Structure 1
Amino acid sequence: MSPEEKIRAGVLFCPGEPELVAIKRKTHNLNVDYNQTHEDEVEKRATILSEIIGEMGEGVRIQGPIAFHYGKHTKIGKNFFANFNFTVQDDGEVTIGNDCNFGPNVTIVTPVHPMVASERRLMRTGAGEEKRLCYAKPVHIGNDCWFGANVTVCPGVTIGDGCVIGAGSVVTRDIPANSFAAGVPCRVIREITEADSMAHMPEVLADNQVL
């Protein structure tokens, strides 16, 4: 299998393989280009993002600075917003649905390294070579999710539609749809229901209306 096929299959691969290094170097350079733009350079930013991200819907806005690892392994739906310091270590696939909003310092990671120190240093490949190896687990995030500041999503996690993830959470396991979840490790606090509507908070709603 090629290195990319190994990543998709969830088996050990060498991140130092030349074809993977070339992808990452290109993306890292594009990260720098994006991070040197001004916020009002909308078209320039959109062009750079289209070169980084594998698939991207309309209305994507990322405050920056950004740090994508591969970029091409990430798919983002429409009307997405991420605040400052959005990091995506997308060795494995990362999918983000429509209408998601992320606070500052959100990090998504997919690679997993061996627990045993000697195995992190070197392992022997099927071809008999000694190399540094790791593997990756995909991350999937549904539609209409809100992440507070400093959320970290760990490898292999799926977060359902309509979830709110509290600030500072470390998400290590799947979160079902329409859940408010928070903590380290992140756990479901309760289901989000109609009782959470702003319609029940007139002191905050003021002269605004719920649609």
Structure 2
Amino acid sequence: MTEKEKMLAGLTYDAWEPELLELRAQAKKSCHQFNLLCPSESDRRNQILDKLISPKGKCHIEANLFCDYGINIEVGDNFYANHNLVILDVCQVKIGDNVMFGPNVMISTATHPIDAIERRSTEYGKPITIGNDVWLGGNVSILPGVSIGDKAVVGAGSVVTKDIAGNGVYAGNPCKFIKSIDK
């Protein structure tokens, strides 16, 4: 099994393996190019996004954007992310349709062993899924292995450490259910 296959399977892997280093370098280059473009250069920005994350439909991401690989990010139709989106995509990140992110959202599938010696040479990840019609407020952090259900609203500054059922408002550190969305 290659280090990339281990990474995608959520097993411990060597992040410094040459293939993974090259894939990260390509993604960092694409993010850098995207971040340097004038906001009016929407055609070029969309070309970079199409190559980096292959969105499934309409997608608008404000600069700055940072990701590890890009190829592990799946974005549905009608996606909007405000400034300073960070996605550490060592495992798959699935984002549904009609999703909005406030500024400074951080999504991390990456994590590390607790043991200090093991942590020196390996890491691992857990996939993240975000449903349809979700809104993440500014400065929200989504931790490895979390799933967020459809129609969830996550309040600004929240740290999502566990799954969220959806159809409600959630907030806090750690993030917890606040109220249902009645309609």
Q: Give the TM-score normalised by structure 1.
A: 0.85
Cα RMSD for the two superposed structures: 0.8
The 2-side partners of 1:170 and 1:76 are apart by: 21
Correspondence for 2:152: 163
Give the aligned residue type for 2:182: T
Correspondence for 2:99: 100
1:161-200 Cα shifts (integer Å, max 9, x gaps): 0000000000000000202100001011121112xxxxxx
Correspondence for 1:204: none
The 2-side partners of 1:111 and 1:63 are apart by: 23
Give the aligned residue type for 1:191: S
1:152 and 2:106 aligned: no
Deviation for aligned residue 1:117 = 1.6
The 2-side partners of 1:31 and 1:95 are apart by: 19
1:179 and 2:152 aligned: no
The 2-side partners of 1:47 and 1:82 are apart by: 17
1:94-131 Cα shifts (integer Å, max 9, x gaps): 0100000000000000111011222212xxxxxxxxxx
Correspondence for 1:60: 59
SS of 2:74's equivalent in the other structure is strand
Correspondence for 2:46: 46
Give the aligned residue type for 1:64: A
The 1-side partners of 2:125 and 2:29 are apart by: 23
The 1-side partners of 2:48 and 2:93 are apart by: 19
Give the aligned residue type for 2:75: I
SS of 1:56's equivalent in the other structure is coil
1:129-184 Cα shifts (integer Å, max 9, x gaps): xxx11111000000000011000000000000000000000000000020210000
1:33 and 2:33 aligned: yes
CA radius of gyration, larger in: 1
SS of 1:35's equivalent in the other structure is helix
1:136 and 2:135 aligned: no
Give the aligned residue type for 1:30: S
Correspondence for 2:116: 117
| Unmatched runs of 5 consecutive residues or more in structure 2 | none
The 1-side partners of 2:166 and 2:153 are apart by: 9
Deviation for aligned residue 1:86 = 0.5
Correspondence for 1:76: 75
1:20 and 2:9 aligned: no
1:7 and 2:22 aligned: no
Give the aligned residue type for 1:164: V
The 1-side partners of 2:88 and 2:104 are apart by: 13
Q: Where do 4+ consecutive residues of structure 1 move more than 3 Å?
A: none
